[in-house]
Amino acid sequence: MKFSIDKPHMVYAEFIESGAIDQFKNVMAQPWVLRGALMPDAHRGYTLPIGGVVETDGVISPVFVGMDIGCGVCAQPTSFNYDEVFDLRYRIRQALKVAIPLGFNHHKKPKTWHEYDKILKTDWFNTLFNDRGGLKQIGTLGGGNHFIEIGADEHKKVWIIIHSGSRGIGADTAKHYIRMAHPEGKVKDGAYGLDVNSQKGKDYIMDMNICLDFALENRVQMIDRIMYIMGRFCEGTKDAWIINRTHNHAESKDGRYWIHRKGATHAEYGMMGVVPGNWRDGSFIVKGKGNPDSLYSSSHGAGRVLGRKAAKITLDLGEQRSFIGDIAAEVTSSTLDEAPGAYKDIFEVMRQQTELVDIGAHVKPIINVKG
């Protein structure tokens, strides 16, 4: 599906709904938007479709980054034995649910984040972080489509994969700067941005970056906790490397031209990434091809076919539960909006982006934990 516009753009799937295309057209019509792309998992979002990538000239747009700044995926390979983890999967899952705060829960006591005081931030953000108990939020999963997954690839190598973000702190930061960008000072749908050379623009860039750091620290501390919990049941260590890819961010190489990714994964040439599907079909470890037409991006997941309310009305709970099989997971009426039927076919999404990434491994779930 393509449309005619006097700017470079690319749409990477034929099954993107018209609402997302209309949003993309409006964004591309802005004079400060230079080029854009829609990933194969794109669907309607807030101003810019989720799965949208755009490059801007001299402007950074908080609404193009999205509400959950720094939301992304970490994948940690380990040396745990597949058979041991599989046999103990229900006990491990229950222990993880106790050890890691889920949904709106957080730690009772502050955790340690040694780098926090060294990272540049505005006074406004520092106040927000302290008022929202930021150190109590580190190492917590959240809800929605965030998950902890322990799975194994084709070689039975066990991976820990976490999808999480910057908790409510990132959302509050987004809303604060969306108000600054909006001509009426409101958190309201609309393609508005901040001059990157203005104080407001500089402040947003600084606070966006600390949200990225916060989201990464959140995932890393959860991985450390998961390693500790798994170590109570079986022996294993972390490999020396980890993949971390955010899919709600903006980045620039020269300070003038900014690539915004909202629900899209950075995929420079040779860059490792993670594309999760759903708790039945697992995740793909990928390597970027550095495609300039996609603005060096790929999908960030399968993408929704049903909104949350529609999924809870339309999907059959018994049928979705039947997909669990041997996976240690739980599907209830409250999480039906995250069941496989709410999402596009991840295998088709991967076929739609062979120009963007190569698949390195397919990690199938053993354990899935959601908020």
**Residue 320 falls inside a structural domain:** no
pTM metric for this prediction:
0.95
Summarize the confidence of residues 21-42 as an average pLDDT.
95
Question: What is the rounded distance in angstroms from the CA atom of residue 95 to the CA atom of residue 266?
Answer: 33
Which phi and psi (to 5°) does residue 340 adopt?
A: -55, -35
Tokens 């990225």 label which residue? 212
Task: Output the CA–CA distances (angstroms, integers) from residue 204 to 125, 144, 166, 238, in the order listed.
Answer: 10, 25, 15, 35
Local confidence band at 5 (pLDDT 50, 70, 90 cut-offs): low
**Residue 110 falls inside a structural domain:** yes
Q: How much of the chain exceeds pLDDT 90, in percent? A: 91
State yes or no: pLDDT of 3 exceeds 70. no
Which phi and psi (to 5°) does residue 28 adopt?
A: -65, -20
Strands 59-60 and 158-164: unpaired
Q: What's the domain range around 145? A: 9-305+343-370
Given this model, what pLDDT does residue 2 score?
57
**Residue 326 falls inside a structural domain:** no
Compute the mean pLDDT over every residue in the chain, rounded to the nearest whole number.
95
* Structure confidence by residue, pLDDT tens digits, 226-282: 999 999 999 999 999 999 999 999 999 999 999 999 999 999 999 999 999 999 999
Residue type at position 71: C
Total domains in the chain come to 1
**Residue 104 falls inside a structural domain:** yes
Question: What is the rounded distance in angstroms from the CA atom of residue 151 to the CA atom of residue 284?
Answer: 11
**Residue 310 falls inside a structural domain:** no
Question: What is the rounded distance in angstroms from the CA atom of residue 20 to the CA atom of residue 215?
Answer: 27
**Residue 330 falls inside a structural domain:** no
The answer to whether residues 76 and 238 touch, using CB atoms and an 8 Å cutoff, is: yes
Q: How much of the chain exceeds pLDDT 70, in percent? A: 99
N-term to C-term CA, the chain: 35
Summarize the confidence of residues 104-130 as an average pLDDT.
96
Task: Output the CA–CA distances (angstroms, integers) from residue 353 to 252, 357, 364, in the order listed.
Answer: 24, 6, 20
CATH number, residue 16: 3.90.1860.10
Determine the distance from the C-alpha atom of residue 289 to the mean position of all C-alpha atoms in its chain, rounded to a whole number: 20
Summarize the confidence of residues 145-162 as an average pLDDT.
97
Given this model, what pLDDT does residue 335 score?
87
Number of Cβ within 10 Å of residue 206's Cβ equals: 15
Given this model, what pLDDT does residue 371 score?
81
| Residues in Cβ contact with 285 at an 8 Å cutoff, skipping those fewer than 6 apart | 75, 153, 159, 243, 272, 273, 274, 359, 360, 361, 362, 363
State yes or no: pLDDT of 1 exceeds 60. no
Total H helices, total E strands in the chain: 11, 16
* Structure confidence by residue, pLDDT tens digits, 63-73: 999 999 999 99
**Residue 2 falls inside a structural domain:** no
**Can you name the residues that pair with 268 across neighbouring β-strands?**
none
**Residue 338 falls inside a structural domain:** no
* Structure confidence by residue, pLDDT tens digits, 307-361: 899 999 999 999 999 999 999 999 888 889 999 999 999 999 999 999 999 999 9
Three-state secondary structure of 283-334: EEEEEECCCHHHCCEEECCCCECCCHHHHHHHCCHHHHHHCCCCCECCCCHH
Sheet-wide strand order for 257-262: 9-11, 33-43, 50-57, 257-262, 248-251
Given this model, what pLDDT does residue 15 score?
79
Sign of the C-alpha dihedral computed for residues 179, 307, 51 and 275 taken in this order? positive
